[in-house]
Structures are given as C-alpha cells and as structure tokens.
Amino acid sequence: MNRLERIVSIAFFVCSSSAIVLLAAPPPQDHRTENVIFVMTDGLRWQEVFHGEDPALLVLDPKHSKGKELAAFQRAQAAYQRDTPAARREALMPFFWGTMAKNGQIYGNRDLESDAYVTNGRNFSYPGYNETLCGFADPAIDSNDEVLNPNVTVLEWLNNKPHFKDKVAAFGAWDIFGFIFNHPRSGFTVNSGYEPLTVEPITPKIALLNQLKADNPRIWSDEAFDALPFQTALEYLKVHKPRVLYLSLGETDDWGHDANYIEYLNAAHRADDFLRRLWETVQSMPQYKGRTTLIYSPDHGRGSGSEWTSHGRKIPESKYIWMAFLGPDTPALGERSKIPAVTQNQIAATLAATIGEDYRKDVPKAGPPIADVVKAAHVK
C-alpha cells in the first residue's frame, strides 16, 4: 500500500469510527418520565391561584355577625388573609407555590402577560373536559347532559397502546365522567360520583370508601365531596400502580355556584393538599420516584366581582384558566411571564409528550404540545 492509499485508508477508518460512535451515543438527556398524574379542579379561578384570597369577596354578612358563621369567617381570615397577594396565594396553595412553581412551570397569570384560555367558546364543564382531554373543541358538545362522548380522549388513546393497556385509570367527583370518557367504549377504569369501585382486589380501605359513598349525605346529587374520589384514587394508585392516573375534583365549582366564598377557598386549599399527598406518595414508591410528571388545571374560569359565582358564554372572561406542570423532564422555569398564550386544547398532546408519545400524529386537529414543558422529552 503506497503512502496515499495509507492516508485514505486511515481517514476512512477515522470517519467510520466517528460515525459509529455518534450513532451509538445516547441522547444528551435521557427521557425519564414513565408515568403521569393529571389532576383537575373544577372552576377554580386564575385570580385566586395567582392572587390568593380576594379581600373584596371574603366579607362577613352583617346578618351572620355571631355564632358559627362568624367563627367560620374568622377561621378563613386566619387561614388565608395576608398583607400581599404573594403571601395570600402561598397561604391558599402552599404546595402549588412551594413545590410546583419552584420546580416546574405555571401558566396563566394575566398580570404577567401569561394568558391561558379555553377555545371551546362555552366556558363550562363538559365542553372544557372534552377540550382538555381530547385536544380540541367539539361544537356538538353543548351541554352537561349524560351523553356518551363520541370523541376519543388521550387517556383512551394511551390505553389502546400495548405498553399502557390496563395501566390507565380515572376518578372524578362528578358522576358525568363515565360519559366524558365513554366508559363502555374506552374500557379503562373510570370511577366517579357516588358509584362504588368494584375493581379487584377490594381492599379494606376501598370497602370503607364504597360504604361512605353510600352513607354520605348528598348536598349535590351528581357530585361527591372531593375527599371520596381523592382517597379512592390514592388507594388505587398504591394497589394497582397505573402509569396514567386522572383525578377531577369538583367542590371549587360547587361552592362557587353556591356563592359560598369561604368554602370555595377551603376547597381550593384541600385540593392543594391532595396534590401534595399524591406527590409525596409517588415520590415514596420506586416505580414513580423521579419518573412521574404532575399536571394541574381547571376546566374553565369564572367571572369577577359579583359574577365570580358564574361562568359560561355570557361571561367571556370565564374562558381564562391556568396550568401547572412538574416533572423530571420539564425545565424549572417557574411562573411564566411575557410569553405567547397557551390554550386548553394543548394539554392532551402535552400530557402524551411527557411520557414520550406523539398524540398529534394520530390526532392532528389537537393542539400542539407546549414546547417549554416537554423540551427535554423524546417523543416516539
């Protein structure tokens, strides 16, 4: 081999070796999320999330200036009233602001030019849940009636994949979720309202929860107190270890419609604590620790001032919502400001992307994943 041939041969060997090393090298950052927990709380306003208790709404009716109503007012003052909006919101939602905001991403503070809103134009529950879970608004869904959803949710889509089959479960306070998820068609575990959970094994805790659902007084005929679906979901998580867990809470909306601002605040505070307990539970379990993304959002907003109790098409500002994301593949950018708006129809594809799945490839009309949330994700 002459000198020129040797140079060419060496150069070819070096280039080929470099190419092999480049192809074999792992991606710069491995995708770690294997599970996702998605919690929604019905109709919790962005105003309380970002400002905390509203002093103009937490007021004592002169007719209730003594007795149990006064005691409830004083407890709420002590729990939620602070000198600044930052202190008030941390008092109302300590896990949200102490853990999710510091280690994840929060969208929807309109004061910081971070809008988040629904696109369905109706601003109430079933259209909002459909948009959130399917990734698009459906004009045909125009009521909260018990109608089986013709659309496939991202949870059903995931459950149809072999590696997620029977690893998806949904729990809700509102008894309409069996219709929203089209339980007869979708086939994964859906438990909502006052219905008992019948999935084996029926642990002693599940048996007790089933009995409490039957025995509890019902302020709202179609919606259980949030503690019941939360506790049921938590026990299911421990026993069955799903890869995708959905939980919807309802008291924030129910107390809002009842114009009970104190209980609305209490419900928001409890929901925050449920998040904390879910997160601490999964961080204590090897299957989930460091491998789980948590998402939190409402289905719609509410009005302001005297209209805080209501929402819907006639209250345009009730389209504004908020979103929070926390997980090992989501950069810790905190409370976002001065960014383009995000929309409710992006949540489904974002959820899928956090666990490495390309929802939009199969459902192109869905909103795209929120890029900053899934920046480190490697979508299949």
**pLDDT tens sequence across 323-379:** 999 999 999 999 999 999 999 999 999 999 999 999 999 999 999 999 999 985 556
User: What pLDDT digit, counting tens, does each position of 13-38 carry?
Assistant: 333 433 333 333 333 357 899 999 99
Has residue 154 got a pLDDT over 60? yes
User: What pLDDT digit, counting tens, does each position of 232-281 carry?
Assistant: 999 999 999 999 999 999 999 999 999 999 999 999 999 999 999 999 99
Burial, 341: exposed, middle or buried (Cβ in 10 Å; 0-12, 13-18, 19+)?
A: middle
On the question of a cis peptide bond just before residue 331, with omega within 30 degrees of 0, the verdict is no
Please give the average per-residue pLDDT across 118-135, as a whole number: 98
Full-model pTM: 0.91
Among 135, 128, 104, 123, CA closest to 275: 104
Between the two ends of the chain, the Cα-to-Cα distance in Å is: 47
State the pLDDT confidence band at 62, using cuts at 50, 70 and 90: confident
Q: Which helix (H) or strand (E) holds 190?
A: strand 189-192
CA 265 to CA 268: how far, in whole Å?
5
Has residue 124 got a pLDDT over 90? yes
Asked which of 101-105, 187-191, 346-350, 375-379 is least confident by mean pLDDT, the reply is: 375-379
Better-predicted residue by pLDDT, 60 or 326: 326
